[in-house]
Amino acid sequence: MLEPQNHDPSEVALDEGDREAIETGLVQVLLRRQRLASSSAWLGFGFMAWLMRDVVPVHYLAGWVGGLVLLELLMLSLLGQLKKNLGVPVRRRRWLHGLTVLFFVYGAAWGSATALPGLWLDALLPQAILVGMATVVLFSIHNLSAYWPMLLCFCMGVATPLWVMGAFSVPGAPQALWALGAVVLVVLILVYGFSSYAVHRHDIEGRVMTRKLAQRLKQSNQELTEALQRVQLLATLDPLTQCLNRRALMDALLQEERRMDRYPVALGIVVLDLDHFKSINDTHGHGVGDAVLVATAARVKARLRATDLLARWGGEEFVCVLMQANEESLVAKAQDLCTHLAATPLVHGPVELTVTASLGVALWAVGESAESCIHRADEALYRAKRAGRNRVSQ
């Protein structure tokens, strides 16, 4: 298919899928218009047959009308096959090529009306028939310009009988003059037809590019949303242990503090500090120290419920917030954490290390601030340190 090449370089670049969408859109326009034209074409050739009824022998006229009817039925069948295979490029092109050949034959069938016996014996009737042919060709710009080769074949088919008669007529005969006129008409129709095709293509390209821009915008918005979510997530997590950071925990506790003013809920705070962590860094290096922190966070998180919170408070210190806790369950959970941390080695390479922790707990009292409750748990932690470490204190 011929394509205008005057694309603005600032436009969105079209890929192979976009070009297929454009070709499919053009064929859809062709199908819609030609099916309508085929359903009403009988009015045209029926009227022309009525005009020629007194000068053209009946059997010739009946053969001409019958041939057009058969071609219309065949065309409708091929249009149906083209519609079924619209989404398969190879098959779509195959049916398009078949229809293009058929339109040459169809055009020649229309044009053969000018060669029917007895027509040129009348002084005015040939002119009326030729005007009718010109009207049919003009309508073909609307019906076939979405696929320019089909318009070309149809126009050439309509003009072929006139050209044959002109070639074999004597100089000065009206057939020679009309054959020349057919050349001019075909050239004009094709020029206007190509312009119409370019308009169709530009319109469909615009829709494809608009849809592509909308998809890109949607994708960009989704990527931006995901990036913002990642930034927000990174802003709330400790980059080493992937626990909440201190700021995120305080934001969560402030929300709980506001909620407790209306719906008092028993919450417990556990402050956990690894014992002798400085010596681990000094003896084995900060890499091993980081591994200990990561393993500690993983082991503690595994012992908490999904509703509980865990944050790295700073250095080797962690804070747990236990939801729906009472004094007994708070102490029991803290003891459970203390026991499981010391039960087995936290890291196995390059050295195997078993690490203990000291824990301080405090039950969050109604009307108390989050900072005050954490401060009480922190004081309990230091009592556990002074009492010998690897223990829980209230």
- To the nearest whole number, what is the mean pLDDT of the chain? 87
8-state DSSP, 15: -
Mapped onto helix, strand or coil, the DSSP state of residue 321 is: strand
The string of pLDDT tens digits covering residues 4-24 is 444 443 456 777 888 888 888
How many residues are there in the chain? 394
Residue 349 half-sphere exposure toward CB, CA atoms < 13 A: 0
**10 Å Cβ neighbour count for 95?**
20
Confidence of residue 107 (pLDDT cuts 50, 70, 90): very high
SS3 310: strand
Distances from the Cα of 392 to the Cα of 270, 272, 333, 379, 381, angstroms: 9, 9, 10, 12, 7
Q: What is the pLDDT of residue 6?
A: 47
- Tokens, residue 335: 């003891």
C-beta separation of 154 from 109 below 8 A:
no
CA distance 328 to 299: 22
Q: What is the pLDDT of residue 334?
A: 94
Backbone angles phi, psi at 87, to 5 degrees: -90, 0
pLDDT at 165: 86
pLDDT tens digit sequence for 49-84: 999 998 999 999 999 999 999 999 999 999 999 999
Q: Which residue has the tokens 């998180």?
A: 301
| Residue 69 token pair | 């009817």
> Whose CA is closest to 137, among 208, 92, 188, 177?
188
**What DSSP letter does each residue of 90-112 carry, written as one string?**
HHHHHHHHHHHHHHHHHHHHHHG
Token pair listed for 124: 């005015």
